[in-house]
Amino acid sequence: GRPNDWRDWDIPNRCIVASGQKARNPVIRVWRIPSYDGDRDLNRQVLATMYMGPKLLSVAALSFNSGGNLLVALAADSEKTICVFDWRREVKLREGTAYTGIVESCRFNPYSASAFATCGEKHLKFWELGDAELEMAVGLLGDIGKPITDKIVCFTPKGNTVTGMENGDIYIWSCGHVTGKIEAAHKAEVLGLLYVENVGLFSCGRGGFLKLWDPDLADTRNPLFALDLGCFAVPGSAKLNARVSGRSMDWSTAPELLRLLCDDCQVEDRPARGVCGSPATHMAFGDLGADGVLLLGTTTNSIIAIGFKRLTDARATGVGMLDVRAGAWAHDGLGEDFAVHGYSPNTVVGPLRDQEWWESKVVNEYKGKFGAKPGNLPIAVYSYQTF
For residue 4, pLDDT over 50 is answered with: no
CB atoms within 10 A of CB 101: 12
For residue 8, pLDDT over 60 is answered with: no
Distance CA 167, CA 260 (A): 38
The mean pLDDT value of the chain amounts to 83
- CB-based contact 377:281 (threshold 8 Å): yes
List residues bridging with 307 in a β-sheet: 293
What's the pLDDT band for 107 if we cut at 50, 70, 90? very high
Over residues 290-345, the pLDDT tens digits come to 889 999 988 877 788 888 877 654 344 444 443 433 333 345 788 999 999 999 98
- CB-based contact 298:245 (threshold 8 Å): yes
The one-letter amino acid code at 184 reads: A
For residue 31, pLDDT over 90 is answered with: no
| CA 245, 249, 253, 258 torsion-angle sign | negative
In the prediction, which pLDDT does 11 show?
62
In the prediction, which pLDDT does 10 show?
61
Higher-scoring residue by pLDDT: 155, 12:
155
In the prediction, which pLDDT does 273 show?
63
Selection from 43-47, 55-59, 127-131 with the highest mean pLDDT: 127-131
Over residues 139-155, the pLDDT tens digits come to 999 888 888 999 999 99
In the prediction, which pLDDT does 7 show?
46
For 301-322, give one letter per residue: b (16+ CB within 10 A) or e.
Answer: ebbbbbbbbeeeeebbbbbbbb
For residue 2, pLDDT over 50 is answered with: no
For 57-71, give one letter per residue: b (16+ CB within 10 A) or e.
Answer: bebbbbbbbeebebb
In the prediction, which pLDDT does 35 show?
63
pTM: 0.85
Distance CA 331, CA 276 (A): 10
| Cα-based torsion angle of the residue sequence 315, 154, 115, 172 in order, rounded to the nearest 10 degrees | 80
For residue 68, pLDDT over 80 is answered with: yes
- CB-based contact 224:245 (threshold 8 Å): no
What's the pLDDT band for 63 if we cut at 50, 70, 90? very high
Over residues 211-241, the pLDDT tens digits come to 999 999 998 988 888 888 877 756 555 555 5
CB atoms within 10 A of CB 263: 29
In the prediction, which pLDDT does 315 show?
43
In the prediction, which pLDDT does 314 show?
38
In the prediction, which pLDDT does 203 show?
96
Over residues 160-205, the pLDDT tens digits come to 999 999 999 999 999 999 999 999 999 989 999 999 998 899 999 9
Over residues 254-296, the pLDDT tens digits come to 898 899 888 887 777 777 766 677 888 889 999 988 889 999 9
Higher-scoring residue by pLDDT: 346, 15:
346
In the prediction, which pLDDT does 349 show?
95
3-state secondary structure the chain: CCCCCCCCCCCCCCCEEEEECECCCCEEEEEECCCCCCCCCHHHHEEEEEECCCCCCEEEEEEECCCCCEEEEEECCCCCEEEEEECCCCEEEEEEECCCCCEEEEEECCCCCCEEEEEECCEEEEEECCCCCCEEEECECCCCCCCCCEEEEEECCCCCEEEEECCCCEEEEECCEEEEEECCCCCCCEEEEEEECCCEEEEEECCCEEEEECCCCCCCCCCCEEEEHHHEECCCCHHHHHHCCEEEEEEECCHHHHHHCECCCEECCEHHHCECCECCCCCECCCCCCCEEEEEEECCCEEEEEEEEECCCCCEEECCEEECCCCEECCCCECCCCEECCCCCCCCCEEHHHCCCCCCHHHHHHCCCCCCCCCCECCCCEEEEEC
Distance CA 308, CA 295 (A): 11
List residues bridging with 246 in a β-sheet: 298
| CA 348, 354, 356, 357 torsion-angle sign | positive
